[in-house]
Each structure stands twice: as C-alpha cells, then as structure tokens.
A and B are shown apart, each in its own frame.
Chain A
Amino acid sequence: MARPQTLTVGMPRALLYHRYAVLWQTYFDALGIATVVSEETNREIAEGGIAAATDEMCLSLKVYLGHVAALIGKCDRIFIPRIVDFGIRRVMCTTFEGLPDIAANIFRDRHIDILSCNISVQGGIDEKAGMVQMGRELGYSKKEAKRAYKRALVAQRAADEAAAAAAEHLYQSRGLKIAVGAHAYVMDDDYYGRPVLDYLSEMGVTAIPAYAVDRREARKVTKRLSPTMKWEVSREIAGSLAMHLDDVDGIILMSVYPCALDSMVNDMLVRKFRDSGVPMMHLTMDAQSGTAGLETRLESFIDILSMRRTGKAVKA
C-alpha cells in the first residue's frame, strides 16, 4: 500500500490539544505515524502568533497560530482538525469550525500542508467517522483506522476519568479551595494560564480546574441551570462549577480577550450563582497582560476568601 512511511505530523500545543492530547497522540501512535508537538507556549511563540493573527482574534487563537508557525519546517504536515459540534446544543466555538481554513489563509505564502479531520455530528460525521476518514486519507485501511481510533478513545476516556477523579479528590482537601472556570487551553497554557495557577499554589491555595469533571453529568446540570446554553465546553464548565459550589471557597473565571463564549456565559454564571454567596472573580488575559497586576488582584481575592473563612469559623 502506498503509505508515506516517513510522514511526521506536527501538533500545535494549543487550543484543543489541551483537551484531546491523549486521543490524538494515541491515534497517531497506533497508526505508526511519527509526531512532533510544538513546545510549551513561550514569549517567542506568543509574539509570533500575535504578529501573524488578525488584531481582533482572541488571544488563544493568536497563540495557536504561533504554535503553527513554530512547527513550520519541523514536520511534513500540521494536524489542524475542524470540530463543529457533537449534536444539538453541543456546539464548539466557531473558531474550531474555521481553524484549518484560518491557518491556511494566514500562512498561505508559507505553503503549509494541513492535515485535517472534520467532525460535525449535526453534519453527519461524528468523531469516530471523522478520524477514521482521516486515517483512510493517510493511506490506512478502514480497519486499521478504526482500531487506532478505538485505542485512542479508550486512552482519552481513561485520562479524562482520572482527571475528574483527581479533581474530586481536591474538592475534599482542607485549606482554601478555588474552582477555576476556564477553558483547558487558557488554564493549561504555559505562558498565560500557568503563572496564575503557580501563584495560587505559592499562596497555599488549592486551585481546581472546573473542566475536570464527569462531563455528562455536568452537561445535565447545565441544562437545568441554563437551558439554551449551547456550547459543549461552556456547559461542562458551568455544570462543574454548579456541582461544586458548596465545596469551594471561591471561583475564578479566567478568560482570554475577547472570548465570545465567556462574554455571555460568565455573565450568566454570575447571575445564577449570586444567591450562593460564593465570591467570584473575573480574570481576563490579553496580549499585554503582565503578572504584577494579576498578582495584586489574586492576593486581595485570596485575602477576602481567608477572611470569610475565619469569619465563618468564629460564627460557628
């Protein structure tokens, strides 16, 4: 079979990589395709992305484009999937719908070879079909592609369950606990999200990622909370926050500028959670964010939470 044996696929370490790393990595490994992942976001990658992107794009997309640029010349093809939806009211942000074409048009003069797979349940192609189709385009048989997907799915599920279990464990811990409502690609980004989490842990606070949750359950909770919320990841995060309101001292909603989904969802969450009395803070990252300003805000938020806790203890 004509199979490009020496093919190396590059994966940008940004956006949905933070959600699907295991799935994609296992899938390519199972097919015997060599992969290279761009390094953790650093200043150079971020600046490269900001320079390549359109001004008004969200910071995470800019960072993603920086990762794509960083992979040019280091691999044969760059893996940029198109993920539209998983059903009704289970849609992804439009960015993930346009991603392969955004990258192709931005880097048109650099002739990148984009490897894509198309996932749109409302369009008749679920994740399995999309990834099997991609395997076939790469020259593998349907059977091989199916087997690779199956193995990848098992591994991803195990990883997701482990992450959810680890988070549940953290909710039971002592000390100050803050649930962080943020997309994985914001929170886990080394350049933008990580410094916040590092600072929290320096301050002795347990920060728990809201996205690590039993996703099915979280979506159900959101359906009661906000029936027409339609974004898959927002529903998971919103549901997760609602499920753990009693377990945490405070909530940080962390977004990038300008996140379309968060602009509405976070406002709704503030309304919905107001009665619970749990303090909430918005953190918005933009390309100009420095850590000094963030630290001041985080510090005062943590002070409030500690005082509340002491106050409660005294009352009791």
Chain B
Amino acid sequence: MKRDKQVKRKIAFPMIAHYNDAVRYFIERGLGQTYIMQPAMTRRTMALGEKLSPDMVCTPFKTILGSMIEALEAGAEVLIMTMGYCRLGYYGELAESILREQGYDFDYVNFAEYTTGHPKDYLKAVKAICPHVRPAKAMKALREALDMVKMIDDIECQYYMNCGFETEPGSFKAALTRFYRDMRTAKTRKDIEAGYENCRQAFEKLPIAKDQNALKVGLIGEYFTVMDAFSNLDLEQALADMGVEVHRWMNVSHRNLDYPGEKNLHVRIKAYCRYEMGPTSTANIWKAKKYAEDGFDGIIHVKSAGCTPEIEIMPVIRNISEDYKIPVLFLTYDTQTATAGLMTRLEAFYDMIAMRKKVIQ
C-alpha cells in the first residue's frame, strides 16, 4: 500500500504551567508531527504580549500572546489555541488577528471555532491539524498524554506539600527537575510511568522535618494564574520556602479530567450560593469552604487583574472567611506585579497566620 510521505508540520501551543510536555507527547506520538517547545516564559514574554494586547484584557491573554510569538520565533508553523468558558473563548480570534497584523505567517487551529455543542467537534479540529490522523493511534497517545497530565499534577501536589520541610536543601527540587526532564523526553507510556515512579519514590525517601503544627495554606483562584508559576511569580514555592505546607486543588486533573461536576459540588455550597456563578466559581467556593473545614491556617485567592468570575466570588469567599474565622489573602496579578511587592504581602500574611496559630494553641 502506498503511503504518501507527509512532511511533518511544526506545531506549537501557548505555554501553560508544565502541561506543554503532555501536548508535545500527543502531537508527536499521536499525530506524528513535530512539536515546537517555546522557551520558558520570562519578563520578555510578558512584555511582547503586553505591547500588542488591549490594555484592559485579563493578564493571561498577554502572556499567552507573548508565548505564541516566542513559539513562532522558535520556528512553529502551526499554532493551536484552546476554547474556554470565559473571555478565554475569544482569546484565539483576537490573538490571531493581532499576530497577522504584525505580519506573522502561520496556520491556526482555534478550537473555539469548532464549538457547536457536539461531542465530536474537536475531532474536526484534530483533523485540521493533521488530516491523515490515525484515530486509534491518536486516541492511544491522547490517553497517555492525559495520564501524563495527571502524573504532573500529582507530583506537583506532593512537591509543594513537602518541599518546604526538606532537610537537605534542594533535594526535592532536584527530583522534580528530573521528573520534568523525564516527561519532556518521554516517548512511550513506559517512559512516563517510569519517570513518575522514580520521582514518587524519591519524594518518599527524602527526609523531611514536618511536625503537626506546620502551617497549612490552601490556594484557590483563577484557572490560569493559580496554576502557572510564572504568572503567579512562583507563589507556591515562595510559600513553601517560608515553611508552609501548600495545597492547591485547582489543576487540569481535578478541574477537567476528574471533575465531580457542578451539581455534585454545588450541593456542598448551598449555604452560600443558589446557582453556579461562573466557570470555576463553584469549585473555588467549595474548596475554600473545604480548606476552612479541614482546619487550614489560611487561604490565598489568586487571580489576574480584571478576571470577572473570580472578582465576583470574592464576596462569597469573604463570607466563608467570616463564618469559619479563616484568614484570606486576595492577590491580583497584572503585568506590573513584581516579586518585591508580593513578598511583602506574603510575609505579612505568614506572620499573621503564624501568630494566630500560636495564640489559638
């Protein structure tokens, strides 16, 4: 049988947290194309995006636009963009129009264009990326990529809960870095699983000094900013470095892959809201209440400037804070937010919850 030799297309996806390795896996293993990984985001990424973006759009648009430009600079020919339930759903079209105006030449697959309400919508989008897709192979790689996502989330959860208590400085970070590298180079399911197992076992063996009185802080907030360490100025690491056990429920596994569903979560927050308030609102309100019930010492609510759904749950989070007597720190990130200002607020918050814990005990 004749199989026409396809020229491999160079495909890229905007950078978000550490999930691009899973996207890479799917594009390379499932679709047989080349994935272009842009460099990790820096202030330059932000500056590139900010310069071309509308002033008042939420910050993730600016970072995503910047990372698209860096992907194109790295040689990408095809850009993929996701759909979304808030403004994110319009990111794709506006970003494309901005990039084209700047003279960039690329093919574009915007998932938002394929949304018609049918489950098979996105299959069409995949066909647009790669017309000769072999469904069985693609599905297998997709499942493996999603498993990788779950493993990344699991490892990160464990990392931020424990790394603040390591007795050998840098030991957790070394294991995590090795894990990311394994994910970046994984070619088979075996590679993914081996990388995950290695890291998990390494974490288990590493000595930690954590007593029962360790401060526990739960992070909630806007989908992109709370997950992406660059966008939140490495908030989790900063907290962990102060000796805090950091919990963050919001990630792709919890919110998208294993989501219990609005209805199931909503039952648990009936005392605060009658309806679902926005794309991630139910989950965030539920989790804030859960952290409070579980005796956490504080909650940090993270969002980018102008994130409407998150702004609008702030009154609810305040009520939870009042009812359960749990301190909440609200952090808003924009392109001007810098580490120094953030650290001042974090240190003050840390001192407050630490003193509070002593008084209560």
Contact = CB atoms under 8 A, between A and B. Distances in A.
Chain A bound to chain B: yes
A227 B90 CA distance: 10
A122 B94 CA distance: 25
Contact of B93 (A94, A98, A100, A228): A228
A104 interface: yes
A54 interface: yes
B319 A57 contact: no
B105 interface: no
Interface stretch (A136-144, A163-171, A260-268, A293-301): A260-268
Contact of B89 (A57, A118, A230, A268): A230
A168 B109 CA distance: 39
Interface residues of A, number: 41
A127 interface: no
Contacts of A88: 115-117
Contacts of B58: 260, 263
A267 B54 contact: yes
A236 to B, nearest CB: 16
In this complex, the interface size class of chain B, counting residues with CB under 8 Å from chain A, is 35 or more
A97 B278 contact: yes
Nearest to A267: B54
Interface stretch (B41-49, B267-275, B343-351): B267-275
A228 to B, nearest CB: 4
Contacts of B112: 228, 230
B306 interface: yes
A57 B312 contact: yes
Interface string A90-126: 0001110110111011101000000010100010000
Interface in A44-76: 54, 56-58, 61
A230 B90 contact: yes
Given A263-B57, A267-B57, A56 B97 contact: no
A186 interface: no
B277 A264 contact: no
A116 B309 contact: no
Contacts of B272: 101, 105
B315 interface: yes
A195 B315 CA distance: 31
A264 B90 contact: yes
B361 to A, nearest CB: 31
A98 B281 contact: yes
A261 B89 CA distance: 11
A187 interface: no
A229 interface: yes
A258 interface: yes
Contacts of A230: 89-90, 112
A82 interface: yes
Contacts of A54: 311-312, 314-315
A226 interface: yes
A228 B111 CA distance: 10
B308 A93 contact: yes
Nearest to A257: B56
A315 interface: no
Contact of B275 (A82, A229, A263): A82
A271 B332 CA distance: 29
B276 interface: yes
Nearest to B115: A88
Interface-centre pick from A108, A122, A261 (highest chain B CB count, 10 A): A108
A89 interface: yes
B277 A98 contact: yes
A256 B110 CA distance: 29
B315 A263 contact: no
A101 B273 contact: yes
Interface-centre pick from B55, B94, B305, B308 (highest chain A CB count, 10 A): B308
A89 B116 CA distance: 9
A94 B115 contact: no
A228 B110 contact: yes
Contacts of B312: 54, 57, 61, 94-95, 98, 102
A118 B113 contact: no
Given A104-B274, A263-B57, 5 more contacts: A95-B308, A228-B89, A264-B54, A267-B94, A271-B97
29 contacts: A54-B312, A56-B332, A58-B308, A93-B308, A94-B277, A94-B309, A97-B275, A97-B277, A97-B278, A98-B277, A101-B274, A101-B316, A102-B315, A104-B273, A104-B274, A105-B315, A106-B315, A226-B93, A227-B93, A227-B113, A228-B92, A258-B305, A258-B306, A260-B86, A260-B306, A262-B56, A263-B306, A268-B97, A271-B101
Smallest CB-CB A-B distances: 3 pairs: A98-B277, A267-B54, A263-B56
